[in-house]
Amino acid sequence: MLKINNLHASVEEKSILKGINLEVKAGEVHAIMGPNGSGKSTLASVIAGKEEYEVTAGNILLENEDIEELAAEERAHKGVFLSFQYPVEIPGVSVTNFIKTAINANRKAKGLEDMPANEMLKLIRSKSEMLEIDRKFLSRSLNQGFSGGEKKRNEIFQMAMLEPKLAILDETDSGLDIDALRIVANGVNKLKSKDNAVILITHYQRLLDYIKPDFVHVLYNGKIVKSGTAALAHELEEKGYDWIKEEVNA
């Protein structure tokens, strides 16, 4: 699905990713953990195609195709989805209209007609029910005045609608209370299949109790310094990151 080789990236001349290697196969869930400032969000943004980041070395292959030159929307058309840590507020554009626009933009890129209105409505209904999203919520302006939990739930709703091949969830658990976390995690679990893959970026083990990762990686100072199974996440929860830093610096 995704293969990252020796990826280096910088923003405004500042080097942030310093040689990332990562392979994610279809059907897998990978968790990326690490202390603040280690480059986790940058990695997510670089995969999704944020223009401010410059890839200075290495490459990103999605289903064996180098996507580095593709614009963010083209990557989305190929099935990349990023759930934002800080979703942007768009006044005057409702959640429903936004998702309709996104769905039809993706269909257009694939040479398909707009989704018929009744089909769209049905899809919106079933996905919003799955995430326990209130009907009224859908007619509100996108992310405007949403609580932290509502924003994250809305991100997962968009993911459910767009059905990506590769979903990157950037700190989707932050700002969620335990009920919201359960709902969001259930949503992600229902969307998981043998044909898609999920990358979870998180500080905490908490989310991983609900979404079981196949692999856990620790990102530190722009590099993956340790990889393991779910057990590694527990170890980090218990011992913090200092022992890893010591290992790296030794």
Partner 1 sequence: MDLKEKLVSSFLAFENHVDIDCQIHDIRTEAIKTFETEGFPSKKDEAWKYTSLNSILKQDYSVFPKQENAIEYSDVKKYFIHDIDTYNIVFIDGKFASHLSQTTHDGIDVCLMSSALNKPKYRLIIENYFNKVATKDSLTSLNTAFAQEGAYIHIPKNKLVNKPIQILHFSTGSEVALMQQPRNLIVVDENSHVQIIERHQSLSNNPVLTNSVTEIFGNKRAIIDYYKIQNDNVNASLIDNTFVNQKRESHVSVHTFSFGGKLTRNNLNFYQNGEHMDSTLNGVTIIGDKQHVDHNTLVHHIEPNCESHQDYKGIFNDSATGVFNGKVIVNKEAQKTNAFQSNNNILLSDKATINSKPQLEIFADDVKCSHGCTIGQLDDSAMFYLRSRGIPEKEAKALLMYAFANNVLESVKIPELKKRINGLIANKLGVNIGFDL
Our CB check for partner 1 shows the closer of 85 and 205 to be 85
Contact 157, 73 (CB under 8 A): no
CA distance 168 to 41: 10
Nearest distance, CB of residue 48 and partner 1, angstroms:
5
Nearest distance, CB of residue 129 and partner 1, angstroms:
21
Looking at the chain, list the stretches that DSSP marks H as alpha helix, in order from N- to C-terminal side. Answer: 40-48, 72-77, 95-109, 117-130, 135-138, 148-162, 178-191, 206-210, 230-239, 242-249
Q: Which residue has the tokens 């279809």?
A: 26
Tell which positions 170-189 bind partner 1, by CB under 8 A: none
Our CB check for partner 1 shows the closer of 81 and 241 to be 81
Listed residue (161, 150, 171, 165) closest to 198, CA to CA? 165
Nearest distance, CB of residue 205 and partner 1, angstroms:
27
CA distance 44 to 50: 9
Q: From residue 132 to residue 171, what is the string marking binding to partner 1 with x (rule CB under 8 A)?
A: --------------------------x---x---------
Nearest distance, CB of residue 158 and partner 1, angstroms:
7
Name the token pair of 77.
């058309």
Could you say which of 4, 29, 76, 199 contacts partner 1 (CB under 8 A)? 76
Our CB check for partner 1 shows the closer of 95 and 208 to be 95
Our CB check for partner 1 shows the closer of 75 and 127 to be 75
Nearest distance, CB of residue 62 and partner 1, angstroms:
14
Listed residue (35, 36, 56, 55) closest to 47, CA to CA? 55
Which residues are CB-contacts of 204 (< 8 A; sequence separation ≥ 6)?
Answer: 173, 237
20 in contact with partner 1 (CB under 8 A): no
CA distance 151 to 86: 8
CA distance 154 to 88: 11
Could you say which of 13, 51, 69, 242 contacts partner 1 (CB under 8 A)? 51
Given CA atoms 66, 67, 70, 74 in this order, what sign does their dihedral have?
positive
Our CB check for partner 1 shows the closer of 97 and 227 to be 97
Q: From residue 83 to residue 122, what is the string marking binding to partner 1 with x (rule CB under 8 A)?
A: -x-xxx-xxxx---xx-xxx-xxx--x----x--------
Given CA atoms 33, 230, 29, 87 in this order, what sign does their dihedral have?
negative
Which residues are at the interface with partner 1 (CB under 8 A)? 45, 48-52, 71-73, 75-77, 80-82, 84, 86-88, 90-93, 97-98, 100-102, 104-106, 109, 114, 158, 162
